[in-house]
Amino acid sequence: MKRKLVVTALLAASLAACQANPVSGRKQLVLVSEEQAQASSAQAYAQTLSEAQKKGKLSTDAALNARVKRITDRLIAQAGNMYPPSRGWEWSVTVIDEPAINAWCMPGGKMAIYTGLIEKLKLTDDEIAQVMGHEMAHALLGHGREQMSRAIAMQGGMTLGSIVVGRDLSGLAPVADLAVTLPHSRASESEADRYGVELAARAGYDPRTAVRLWEKMSAAGNGGPPQFLSTHPSPDNRIQALAALVPQMMPIYEKARR
């Protein structure tokens, strides 16, 4: 009986927590407030950087760090036009010196890109902008909050009780870690592709390079995507969708370049 009540309460809470995203319009499960998501992400980010520093994994390449910051600063300047509340975020980007082909952005704009991604794929500035635009779009579209909510919904039990009683979701840092490690849904990835290319175009980065980037991604995985892209749309489908976006994005890019 108790289990049935918990399941019923979980379903009720989930239905009540479905909200339309202000950028995409898609309904999302949101059990975590923006403030809670950002606070837990900041804690998880600080811990990630502390561990990387202890292992000597924070990039000391001043030129590379400056290059990544220059690119992301241009993207951040345009992010506020896509999602105005992001103008108040404490954005931060770190280059992690590891061979993994990886990059991510937590709620609130806490970002990282790995040297393996830049070096193995020999990324141009435009291609780095496409990667980071994609990852930043996840944050602007609330995908991290959506992942945290999925993790909480799966946990159930005591976490559900805190949601129903008063939304006291303390101890969310492990859930924030899950927001990075859990795979995004196919719908989220397609959204991040669409809005990431637009974000990069607004910042003056060529949308045509998005197609070239994902061709490189596919080649890096010997015909399939690297592991961190394993739940993304298939490379062929993604490249076709991005190629179809290019004509829509070129006027935005050309205006930004002017």
Give the 3-state secondary structure of the chain: CHHHHHHHHHHHHHHHCEEECCCCCCEEECCCCHHHHHHHHHHHHHHHHHHHHHCCCECCCHHHHHHHHHHHHHHHHHHHHHCHHHHHCCCEEEEECCCCCCEEEECCCEEEEEHHHHHHCCCCHHHHHHHHHHHHHHHHCCHHHHHHHHHHHHHCHHHHHHHHHCCCCCCCHHHHHHHHHCCCCHHHHHHHHHHHHHHHHHCCCCCHHHHHHHHHHHHHCCCCCCHHHCCCCCHHHHHHHHHHHHHHHHHHHHHHHC
Which residue in 127, 135, 146, 198 is the catalytic one? Answer: 135
Q: Is 35 labeled as catalytic in the residue annotation?
A: no
Question: Which amino acids are annotated catalytic?
Answer: 135
